Chains A and B, each alone.
Chain A
């Protein structure tokens, strides 16, 4: 069974600084997708970034980028130039892609200090 582990329950970052959120996963599949979702107080899950396992190049979306280490089964999210609106829970997630059923980690609460 696939598992996703987020070992840090909370992190804090100063506004305009950079922060990295960690995630590891376990799978026996060779082809899969990895995601980071943001859940603000409104509760709606918002896709931040996704990575296809077959792609060696790390995905980037504006201030958000990932460090995907397939051999180590590691998938960290870097947020640059942190903004107050980045404060939320962040979930790492995995799917095989065949049916897009997502397996989520426990999440991490990110706070941004003004």
Chain B
């Protein structure tokens, strides 16, 4: 069990650039979640997948954000035309179909200059 893996750990980009993050969930975990955490706040739900289907998207997920999970395994989160307000830590989590326990990755820290 290698846990939930996220790549990269840190990303620094200039405003207006596109960035993509990757999340590899624990194998056999069919549900995958993305959260965003800003300084001094708790994580906020962005979206989740059951296998390859994206079942729910938060209003926080603007049109500049897109998430995919093409084969029901790893997932990517892309942010287009980044803004300074996008600076945050992006957390990925996964769980088994019958379990309530979420397993989190260590997150990707995004800094938009």
A interface residue numbers (CB < 8 A to B): 4, 33, 42-47, 50, 91, 93, 95, 97, 99-107
Contact = CB atoms under 8 A, between A and B. Distances in A.
B28 interface: no
Nearest to B42: A104
Interface in B79-104: 89, 91, 93, 95, 100-102, 104
Interface residues of B, number: 24
Contacts of B31: 99-100
B111 interface: no
Contacts of A102: 33, 35, 43, 45, 102
A107 B41 contact: yes
Contacts of B55: 99
Interface in B37-58: 40-45, 48, 55-56
B104 A44 contact: yes
Given A45-B104, A100-B33, 12 more contacts: A4-B42, A33-B100, A44-B107, A46-B104, A50-B101, A99-B31, A100-B95, A101-B56, A102-B33, A102-B45, A105-B42, A106-B42
Residue of A33, A45, A97 most packed against chain B (CB within 10 A): A45
A102 B93 CA distance: 11
B50 to A, nearest CB: 8
Contacts of A93: 42
A46 B56 CA distance: 24
Given A43-B106, A43-B107, A50-B101, A99 B41 contact: no
A93 B45 CA distance: 12
A106 B41 contact: yes
Contact of B106 (A42, A97, A100, A105): A42
A45 B100 contact: no
Nearest to B44: A104
